[in-house]
Amino acid sequence: MTANKWTPVQQALFRFCFIFFILSLFPSTYRYSFSMDFTGILMLATYRPPSLPVLLYMLPVSAVGATIWMVRDNNRHNMDMLYYWLRVILRYRLALAFVGYGFVYFFHIHSPYPSISHMNTHYGEFTRWKIFSMTLGVAPGYSCFLGIVQLTIALLLLFRKLTLPAVIIAVIFLGNVFLSNWAYEGADVLYSAYLLSIASFLLIYDLTEFHTLFALQRPAALRPAIPSLKWKWAPRSIFLLFFLACGYASYSSYRQGTYQFPHTSTPTGLVGFYDVSSFTINGRELPYSLTDTMRWENVVFEKWATVSIRSPQQISIPTPVYTVPDLLESPSSYEQTGNNGRCYYSLQADTIQHTLALLQQNNMYIFHYHQPDSNRIVLSGINQQHDSLLIVLRKINKRYLLEEAGTGKNNPAKL
Amino acid sequence: MHPWNNASKIAFRICFIFYLIMCIPFSKEWYDRLFAVHWDALHYRDIYDITRFQPAIVKFDNSNWNLMGYTDWLLILAISIIGGLIFSFVDRRRPSYYALNYWLMVLIRYRAAIGIIGFGFLKIFPVQMPFPSLAMLNTDFGQYSAQKLYWVSVGIVPWYQSFAGVFEIGAGLLLLFRKTTVYGAILLFAAMADIVYVNFSYDGNVHIYSSYFVILAAYLLAYDLPYFYAFFIKERYVIPYHYYPSFTEKWQQYLRTGLKSGLLFIFVGVTAYLQLMNFLYDPYKQPSLKGVPALRGNYNVTFFSINNKEIAYDPFDTTRWQHVTFEKWSTFTFSTNQPQNLDLSNGIALPMRDINRTFELTGMAGRRTYFYYEADTVQQLLHLHNKNPLNKKASITSNSFYLAGGSKPILYDTITIIPDVIRKEINGIDERARSWRRQKHILLEYANAQPGEDMTLHYTTKDGSRIIMTGVTRNGDSLYIVLDKVEKHYLLTESSLNAGNY
C-alpha cells in the first residue's frame, strides 16, 4: 500500500477496524488488582476483551462511527500513520496475551498432572475440556513446547520488522487454539477468535507483498518508510520488564505447585487410595454393592486436603452441566468440575484429637479416626442426617498404567 | 540469473542426493505391493500403502520408540555427502543449478503432497482416532498409557479430527501447484512440527514419519528464505529469480496435464471415495460387524454362579464377572480382578478380522477381558473368542505383506473349505466397502489363527434390560449369570459424526 493510494473502500474498512479494535481494548471487567503477585500479574496479561454481546454491540457502533468519520473527514487519503499506530497497539495487545498464556503453559501450571481421584475416575466421566486439560497435564514437555512457541511469538511481536514471521506462526497457532476450544467446549472460544482476528489484521498488512514475492514469484514494491521515532525503545523496554515480572511470577507459582489444586495438606499416613472394606450404618453392615447408593465403594485422600468418595451413581440424578472455569479462577474448582463419578469433600483433620471433617456445600461427615495398622483407617462418626457410621478403609497400593508404561521394552507385562 | 558460489553449489549437490533418496521408493516391498494391487476391488489401504513410504536402510526391532529411527537419516546424509563431493568434482564447471533445483523441488512437492494427502484422508473421515468404546469409557483415566490418552483425546472430537484432515489435505493440494507451494509448505511445516513434538511427549511412534515431512517442507521454504529476509527484515527491494521449464511442445503439455490429473484422480478422487466407504461401513480400527442390537449396553452382574455355587459381588474377586459391556459391534467384555496381559502397541497394523481389531484394548490396563463373539440369534447362542493377542501363542496382524502371501491368488493352499462364519464375516459389511484385500486377509487370518480362550454361552432376554447367560467354560465350569442393564451418565457424550454402521 503506497502513500496516497487509499481507495474509499479501504478507507471505510480501515476506519471501521480502527474504531472496533480500539473499543475492544477495554477489558471485560475492572476487577484487576495491580499487585505483584502471580494472579495479579497474570490477570493483567490475560485480560479478556468485552463479552460477546458487548462485542456484537460494538460492531454497529464502529460502523456508525466509521460513517460519521468518513463524512466529516473525507479529504484525508493517506492513513498510513494511523494504520501504523493501530498496528503498534495491536502488536502489543497480542504480545500481552501470548506472554500471559506462554508462561502459564511453559511452567505447566494450568493443566496439572491428574490427581489420585482423577486417575480413579472413568474416562467417560469427564467432559471434553477436562480430558483435554488432563491429557496435556500428563505431558509437561508438550505444554512447555507450546509455551515456548507462544513466548517466541510475543517477543517477535515487539519488533516491527519481525512482525510477519510472528503473525504467520500466531495465525496458525491461534487457529488451532480456536478450533480446539470449540471442539473441546473450552472457555476461550471467543477470546481465541478475538486474538485470531487481531493476528489476521496484522497479517493483512504484509499479505500482498508476501503473495507477490513468493506465490507469484515477482518483485514487490517497497512500502513507504516509517519515520524513525525517538522514543521507540521505551515501550519495548517497559514490555520486557513486564515480561520478566510475568516470568518471575509464573516461576514462583510453579515452585509452589499448580494453582489448580489447593495448597493445603492431608496428614501424612492418610494419603492414598482406599477400598471401603466394611461399611456400617446405624449398626447395619452393608455388603459390597453395585447399586446401593448409600454405601461407599472407595475413598481417596489426596496429598492436599481433599477427600473424594466413589459410590454407585444415583440413577435419578441428572447429569450435571459444568461450565468451564476461567483461567486463574480463585479458588480453583478444577478438581471437582468437569467430572462426575466421585464426590469431593474438603478435609479438616485434627491429628491430636484424631478427628476428620469432610465438608461439602450441602453435605458433611464428622469422624473420629484411628489407624490399627499402616494399611487401615477406621472411621466412626456421623453424616449430615446424624446416622451413625462405622467404616473401615483398606489401603490399596494401586498401580497405574499411565505411570508404568515406559517406552519400548520397559512396559509392564501384566497389570 | 546469478552464478552460485561454491558453498551453495556443494550444499545443493548434497541436498540433491539426500532428497532424491528420501523421495524415491527404493524398497522391493513397495513395488511388490504396488503390483499386487487389485485395481478392480480396491481397499483404501492399497492406496495408503503407496503413499506411505520412507527410506529404511537399517531394520531396528524398536526404532519406532526411540531416536534410533533417525539413524537411517544419518546414513543417508553420509551417503549424500560422499556422493555430493564426487558430484562436485565431476561437475565443477557448472555455474548454477536453477533448473535441477526446480525439478528437485517438483519431486519433493509431489512426494510431500501425496504422503500428506494419504494421511489426511484418515482424518477427514475420522477413523484414525476412533471414539472410545463403552469398555474404554468405563476404564479409569490412570489405566491408559500416555500414547493412548493422546489418541483417544483426539478420538473424542471427530469434527476436530476431520478438520485436521482438511488442514493436511489442504496443505497437500497447495503443494501440488507451483504458485501455492509456499502456503502449502508453511502449513505442512507447522502441522508436522507439532506432531513431531506430540510424538516425543506422548511416546507416540510416528515421530520419524512426521519429521520426514518437516524436512521436506523445510527444503521447499529454504529457497525463499533469503528473499524473505531481504525484503521484510532488511526492507530492500528484491527480484526473486526462479527457473521455469517451458513446455513448448504439445505432447509435453499433454503429458504434464495428464500426469497431474492422473495423480489427482487416484490420490484425491479415488482415495476420497475409498476412505468414505471405509468410514461409513468398515472403520479400520473398529470391528466391522454389528453387535446384537437387543444386547448392546452396560450391565451390572446381579447374580453369578459357577458350578452352582454363587459368588457374591466383591470388587477383589478374581473369578466373578463385573461390569459387562456389549459394544455396538461384535465385542463383549467383562472385568474381574485378574491382571491381564497388556498389549501396548499403537495398533498400526491393519487386521481385517474383527477378532484381531484390538484398538479397544491396546494401550490400556483395567483388568478387563475382551471377547469377540459370533451370535446365533435363532438358537440364542454367543460363541465367544478372547481378543487379547497376547493370550495366544502368535497372532497374525496382516501387517506383513509377505505373510499375506504377496500377490498370490486368494485361495490359499491351506484353506480347502471356507467355513460359514468366515464367509459371513467377509460378506458382513456393506457391498460398497468390500474389497479384494479384505477378503484375502480374512482368509489368511483365519488360516493362521491360533486357538485361544473360547466358550459358547446361551442367552435369554426379553428386551435387553435383563439377560440370563448360561453355559460351560473351556475348563468345564458351568456358569449361570444374570445381567441387569445400567444407564450410565457419561459426561463425555458422543459426537454427531460417528464412524461405522452398526
Domain assignment present for B500: no
Q: Are residues B41 and B181 in the same domain?
A: yes
Q: Are residues B155 and B78 in the same domain?
A: yes
CA quadruple A35, A37, A42, A47: dihedral sign: negative
Q: What is the pLDDT of residue B60?
A: 58
B344 and A142 within 8 Å at the Cβ level: the answer is no
Please report residues of B whose CB lies closer than 8 A to that of A122: 137-141
Under the banding of pLDDT at 50, 70 and 90, the label for residue A1 is: very low
- Please give the residue of chain B at the shortest CA–CA distance from A168: B186
CB atoms within 10 A of CB B467: 21
Interface of A with B in 35-64 (CB under 8 A): none
Q: What is the pLDDT of residue B398?
A: 46
Rounded to 5°, angle at Cα A215 from A211 and A220: 50
B341: nearest CB among A213, A215, A414: A414
A124 and B490 within 8 Å at the Cβ level: the answer is yes
Q: Are residues B276 and B299 in the same domain?
A: no
Q: Are A294 and A282 in contact (CB under 8 A)?
A: no
- Kindly list the distances between the CA atom of residue B328 and the CA atoms of B13, B129, B268, B298, B372, in Å, as whole numbers in the listed order: 57, 17, 31, 11, 12
- Minimum distance, in Å, between the CA of residue B224 and any CA atom of chain A: 7
Q: How many residues does chain A have?
A: 415
Cell of A106: 511453559
Give tens-digit pLDDT for A150-179: 999 999 999 999 999 999 999 999 999 999
B237 and A219 within 8 Å at the Cβ level: the answer is yes
Peptide bond into A140 cis (omega under 30): no
A338 and B65 within 8 Å at the Cβ level: the answer is no
Interface check for A122 against chain B (CB to CB < 8 A): the answer is yes
- ipTM score of complex: 0.93
Q: Are residues B241 and B375 in the same domain?
A: no
What CA dihedral angle connects B252, B253, B259 and B265, to 10 degrees? -170
Give tens-digit pLDDT for A251-300: 888 888 888 898 899 998 999 999 999 999 999 999 999 889 899 999 99
Domain assignment present for B439: yes
Please report residues of A whose CB lies closer than 8 A to that of B190: 169, 172
B137: nearest CB among A124, A183, A403: A124
B190 and A169 within 8 Å at the Cβ level: the answer is yes
- Minimum distance, in Å, between the CA of residue B304 and any CA atom of chain A: 13
Residue of B178, B320, B337, B491 to mutate when probing chain A, most A C-beta within 10 A? B491
Please report residues of B whose CB lies closer than 8 A to that of A135: 149-150, 153
Domain assignment present for B502: no
Q: What is the pLDDT of residue A37?
A: 61
- Minimum distance, in Å, between the CA of residue B500 and any CA atom of chain A: 20
**Sequence-ordered strand ranges (E) for A56-170:** none
B366 backbone dihedrals φ, ψ, rounded to 5°: 120, 5
- Please give the residue of chain A at the shortest CA–CA distance from B179: A215
Domain assignment present for B180: yes
Q: Are residues B188 and B334 in the same domain?
A: no
Domain assignment present for B157: yes
A184 and B160 within 8 Å at the Cβ level: the answer is yes
- Kindly list the distances between the CA atom of residue A39 and the CA atoms of A34, A110, A257, A350, B24, in Å, as whole numbers in the listed order: 10, 12, 14, 31, 54
The DSSP code sequence of B234-276 is S--------------SHHHHHHHHHHHHHHHIIIIIIHHHHHH
Exposure string of A117-153, with b = 16+ CB inside 10 Å and e = fewer, is bbbbbbbbbbbbbbbbbbbbbbbbebbbbbbebbbbb
What CA dihedral angle connects A73, A75, A80 and A84, to 10 degrees? -10
- Please give the residue of chain A at the shortest CA–CA distance from B231: A222
Q: Are residues B239 and B383 in the same domain?
A: no
- Kindly list the distances between the CA atom of residue A115 and the CA atoms of A255, A266, A308, B152, B366, in Å, as whole numbers in the listed order: 18, 14, 11, 20, 18
Q: Are residues B182 and B83 in the same domain?
A: yes
Interface check for A100 against chain B (CB to CB < 8 A): the answer is no
Amino acid at A365: Y
Q: What is the rounded CA–CA span in Å between residue B275 and residue B265?
A: 14
- Please give the residue of chain B at the shortest CA–CA distance from A177: B160
How many domains does chain B contain in total?
A: 2
DSSP B308: T
- Please give the residue of chain A at the shortest CA–CA distance from B483: A290
Q: What is the pLDDT of residue B203?
A: 83
- Please give the residue of chain A at the shortest CA–CA distance from B180: A215
B232 and A218 within 8 Å at the Cβ level: the answer is no
B11 backbone dihedrals φ, ψ, rounded to 5°: -60, -45
B240 and A213 within 8 Å at the Cβ level: the answer is yes
Q: What is the rounded CA–CA span in Å between residue B211 and residue B194?
A: 10
B492 and A287 within 8 Å at the Cβ level: the answer is no
Q: Are residues B301 and B273 in the same domain?
A: no
Give tens-digit pLDDT for A101-131: 899 899 988 889 999 999 999 999 999 999 9
Rounded to 10 deg, the angle between the B71-90 and B6-23 helix axes is 130
Query: Which structural domains are found in chain A, ordered by start?
Result: 8-256 (no CATH), 272-315+325-398 (2.40.128)
Exposure string of B161-186, with b = 16+ CB inside 10 Å and e = fewer, is bbbbbebbbbbbbbbbeeebbbbbbb
> How far from chain centre, in Å, is Cα B112?
18
- Minimum distance, in Å, between the CA of residue B401 and any CA atom of chain A: 24
Host domain of residue B113: 6-281
> A369 has which bridge partners?
A379
Please report residues of B whose CB lies closer than 8 A to that of A160: none
- pLDDT, one tens digit for every residue, chain B (502 residues): 788 999 999 999 999 999 999 999 988 888 988 888 889 999 999 999 899 888 877 765 554 556 777 888 999 999 999 999 999 999 989 999 999 999 999 999 999 999 999 999 999 999 999 999 999 999 999 999 999 999 999 999 999 999 999 999 999 999 999 999 999 999 999 999 999 999 989 987 788 899 999 999 999 999 999 999 999 999 999 999 999 998 889 999 999 999 999 999 999 999 999 999 999 999 999 999 999 999 999 999 999 999 999 999 999 999 999 999 999 999 999 999 999 988 887 666 788 999 989 999 999 999 999 999 999 999 999 999 999 887 765 555 545 455 555 555 545 555 678 888 999 999 999 999 999 889 888 888 888 777 788 899 999 998 889 999 999 988 889 999 999 999 888 999 999 999 999 9
Q: How many residues does chain B have?
A: 502
Task: For residues A126-140, give the mean pLDDT.
Answer: 94
A401: nearest CB among B200, B301, B364: B364
Whether this prediction's pTM lies above 0.90 is answered by yes
| Termini Cα distance of chain B | 63
B489 and A338 within 8 Å at the Cβ level: the answer is no
Of B281, B307, B324, the position where a domain reaches its end is B281
Spatial CA neighbour of A206 closest among B218, B186, B293, B233: B233
Q: Are A250 and A109 in contact (CB under 8 A)?
A: yes
Q: What is the rounded CA–CA span in Å between residue A185 and residue A177?
A: 12
Q: What is the pLDDT of residue A319?
A: 54
| Termini Cα distance of chain A | 65
Give tens-digit pLDDT for A222-236: 988 887 788 888 889
Q: Are residues B53 and B198 in the same domain?
A: yes
B159 and A183 within 8 Å at the Cβ level: the answer is yes
Q: Are residues B362 and B261 in the same domain?
A: no
A125: nearest CB among B152, B340, B490: B490
A405: nearest CB among B141, B146, B180: B146
Task: For residues A39-50, give the mean pLDDT.
Answer: 71
Domain assignment present for B411: yes
Under the banding of pLDDT at 50, 70 and 90, the label for residue A2 is: very low
A120 and B142 within 8 Å at the Cβ level: the answer is yes
Mean model confidence pLDDT for chain A: 87
B141 and A319 within 8 Å at the Cβ level: the answer is no
Q: Are residues B306 and B204 in the same domain?
A: no
Interface check for A128 against chain B (CB to CB < 8 A): the answer is yes
- Minimum distance, in Å, between the CA of residue B153 and any CA atom of chain A: 7
Q: Are residues B41 and B172 in the same domain?
A: yes
Amino acid at B172: G
CB atoms within 10 A of CB B412: 16
Taking 80 as the threshold, does the pLDDT of residue A407 lie above it?
no
Task: For residues A323-338, give the mean pLDDT.
Answer: 72
- Please give the residue of chain B at the shortest CA–CA distance from A290: B300
Domain assignment present for B58: yes
Taking 80 as the threshold, does the pLDDT of residue A96 lie above it?
yes
Q: Are B300 and B307 in contact (CB under 8 A)?
A: no
- Please give the residue of chain B at the shortest CA–CA distance from A120: B140
Interface check for A159 against chain B (CB to CB < 8 A): the answer is no
The DSSP code sequence of B191-247 is HHHHHHHHHHHTT-S-HHHHHHHHHHHHHHHHTTHHHHIIIIIS-------------
Spatial CA neighbour of B370 closest among B161, B31, B139: B139
A132: nearest CB among B66, B153, B231: B153
B314 and A288 within 8 Å at the Cβ level: the answer is yes
CATH of the domain at B310: 2.40.128.280
Please report residues of B whose CB lies closer than 8 A to that of A209: 231-232
Interface check for A138 against chain B (CB to CB < 8 A): the answer is yes
Please report residues of A whose CB lies closer than 8 A to that of B182: 214-215
Cell 521484510 belongs to which residue? B232
Q: What count of Cα atoms within 13 Å lies in the side-chain half-sphere of residue A95?
A: 25
CA quadruple B118, B120, B122, B128: dihedral sign: positive
- Minimum distance, in Å, between the CA of residue A31 and any CA atom of chain B: 33
Cβ-Cβ pairs closer than 8 A, A with B, add up to 211
B238 and A219 within 8 Å at the Cβ level: the answer is yes
- Kindly list the distances between the CA atom of residue B235 and the CA atoms of A58, A82, B52, B250, B426, in Å, as whole numbers in the listed order: 36, 21, 42, 42, 65
- Minimum distance, in Å, between the CA of residue B142 and any CA atom of chain A: 4
A396 backbone dihedrals φ, ψ, rounded to 5°: -115, 125
Amino acid at A331: P
Spatial CA neighbour of A148 closest among B66, B193, B210: B193
Domain assignment present for B288: no
A123 and B136 within 8 Å at the Cβ level: the answer is yes
Q: What is the pLDDT of residue A113?
A: 94
